[in-house]
Every structure is written in C-alpha cells, then in structure tokens.
Structure 1
C-alpha cells in the first residue's frame, strides 16, 4: 500500500532505501530519542531495512518509508501494531512533514488498518515529539523511569494513546 499526501509519498521499504535511511540512522542528533544507538556502519541500516522487507513479504503492513521528491527522508508506521514509530531526517525537521505523515498513517490505521487504538512511547526530553502526538489528539497515559538503556545511559518513557473514537481528524471528517 502507498499513501500520498500533499508533499509526501508513504510507501513500502525497498532495498535501495539503505543509503537514504543510513543518513538518518547514523546521525546522532536524529537518533537522540530513537530506541537504539546511531548506526555505526551501513550494514546495520541494511539489516534494519531487511527487517522491514521481511515484514512486508509476510503480508500488508502499515509501516512506511517517507519519500519526498523521490528521496527516502524517514519512516513512519507500525512495526508492531498498535505501537507507532517515526523518524525524519534532520534537514526536514520543522516543516510540518512529520505531522503530515503521521496524520496519513493514523487515518489509514483507523479506516482500513483495523486498529481501534494507537500507542506511542516517547522520551520525555523529546519535546517536539510530545507536541506532535498531542497535536494529533494523543493522550498521556503514563510515565516510567529508566525504561531503555543505550550505551550505558538510561532513558525514561512517556506513554500515549489515541483511541479511534477520540481521533479529532476522524471526528471532523465524519468517519
């Protein structure tokens, strides 16, 4: 499945996405709030793309590469539904692209993806992500300290949920 938005194409992963995604996954700033350390070599990113390809081969997914102007600039979707994840190349931050991609994936998940709720786990220090989720109607459901350890550093987690019947975009569309 592919989803087109005003500026983006959300599409299944391709083996040719390795270099584009490695630009993100090797960037310490882009990876500051991701669930793993930055990738040290292209092989790590290739293995990550292969996991996406394997999942796609097993059946339709709601896990997408974000493409803009023919270039892979991020990822959005559900690796393990209903858990939502997203990441965007740093030079595309601050342009509303993550919000655009997120809105499209939420709508797909609720209108054809069979989900009744979407969950997200966020580092409390990732204020941009917290604001993004809240903008899309996600509600905080909890906090837990020291949930993830990366290279000897512990991170806390904020938990969010968006229930289908509370999605502001679906309500305004009458869905």
Structure 2
C-alpha cells in the first residue's frame, strides 16, 4: 500500500532504506522528542527498521516518507491506534509532517474501522503540539515521567482524534 500526496510518497519500509532511516534515527535533533536516544550504530537502526517492516507486513499503517525519491522520515501507526512521525531536521519547516500525517490519518480512517487515533507528545515539543491541534487532535491528559530516555525522565501529553471529528473536518 502506498499513499501519494502532492509532494510526498508514503510507502512500506524496505531493507534498502537502512542508510536513510539511520540518518534520521542517529540525528540528535531529530531524536530530541523521540522515545529513545539517538541510535549509536547502524545495527540499532537495522533492528528498528526490521521491526517496522514486520509490523507493516502484519497490517500496520506505518510508512517511510519520501520526498523527491529520498526517504526523509516515517509517519504512521506503528501500533494502532497510536500515530507518530519523525522527519530529518533538514526538511523541517516545509509542511512535510503535516502533509504526511494528514495522509496517514485519512488512510487509517478510510481503510479501517478505528474510532480514534492517539498521540503521545513531549510537553516541550511545541511544533508537534501545534501540528496535532491543527489536524483536529484534542488534548486528553498528561502524565509525568512516562519515558526514560538517555538517563532522564520525560513527561507526556496525550492527544486523540475521534473519527467523528475527522469526518466533520472532511465535510467542512
């Protein structure tokens, strides 16, 4: 399954994506808000990519994101109904996260019977919070010390997008 937007191609991950995925997962700034520290070596990224490929083969709506033929990150539901994304910082600020996540949301709500999509975001990640809210997600709660990353406890804000809210936005 592939999704094409005006500028992006979202497709299942493949083993040959390893180098470009590792460039994202080993980048300190890209991983600043992720649930693990930056990958120290390519074998960590290989295991991560292998898991993504296996999850997608098992039906997960999880995609690598390509721009102009180059993988720039990933977006999707690694485990439904949880949605997430990560892009290489060199493409930040160009609307790619919004474009990719919008396409994933539309795909999931059209292709499945899920009633809600959920997101877990660091309270300090203002850009992701703004993006989720622009896409119709609403805050549902918060929790302290939910992720232990690189020796430090991180907090979480929880967001959800109900199918009915998505449908209303589609009609408006």
Pick the TM interval, shorter chain. Answer: over 0.9
Tell me the equivalent position of 1:57. 57
Tell me the equivalent position of 1:124. 123
Once the two structures are TM-superposed, the CA of residue 172 in structure 1 deviates from its matched residue by 4.5
Contact residue 60 and residue 79 of structure 2 kept, 8 A = no
Does residue 1:43 correspond to 2:43, yes or no? yes
- Over residues 32-53 of structure 1, what are the superposed CA-to-partner deviations in whole Å (9 max), with x where a residue is unaligned? 0000010000111111110111
* TM-score, structure 2 as length reference: 0.96
Equivalent runs, 1:95-134 vs 2, <5 Å: 95-134=94-133
Structure 2: which 5+ runs fail to align?
A: none
Tell me the equivalent position of 1:155. 154
* Cα distance in 2 for residues equivalent to 1:102 and 1:16: 23
Contact residue 138 and residue 161 of structure 2 kept, 8 A = yes
Does residue 1:83 correspond to 2:82, yes or no? yes
Could you say if the C-alpha distance between residues 156 and 8 of structure 1 is closer, same or farther in structure 2, counting changes exceeding 3 Å? same
Once the two structures are TM-superposed, the CA of residue 139 in structure 1 deviates from its matched residue by 0.3
* Cα distance in 1 for residues equivalent to 2:69 and 2:118: 30
* Cα distance in 2 for residues equivalent to 1:95 and 1:162: 23
Contact residue 108 and residue 114 of structure 2 kept, 8 A = yes
Tell me the equivalent position of 1:174. 171
Once the two structures are TM-superposed, the CA of residue 66 in structure 1 deviates from its matched residue by 0.3
Tell me how many residue pairs correspond in the alignment.
172
* TM-score, structure 1 as length reference: 0.95
1:32 is paired with a residue whose SS is helix
* Cα distance in 1 for residues equivalent to 2:9 and 2:102: 13
Contact residue 145 and residue 155 of structure 2 kept, 8 A = yes
1:166 is paired with a residue whose SS is helix
* Cα distance in 2 for residues equivalent to 1:88 and 1:73: 6
Q: Pairwise CA RMSD of aligned residues?
A: 1.2
Contact residue 60 and residue 80 of structure 2 kept, 8 A = no
* Cα distance in 2 for residues equivalent to 1:109 and 1:164: 10
Contact residue 62 and residue 113 of structure 1 kept, 8 A = no
Tell me the equivalent position of 1:29. 29
1:105 is paired with a residue whose SS is helix
Once the two structures are TM-superposed, the CA of residue 152 in structure 1 deviates from its matched residue by 1.4
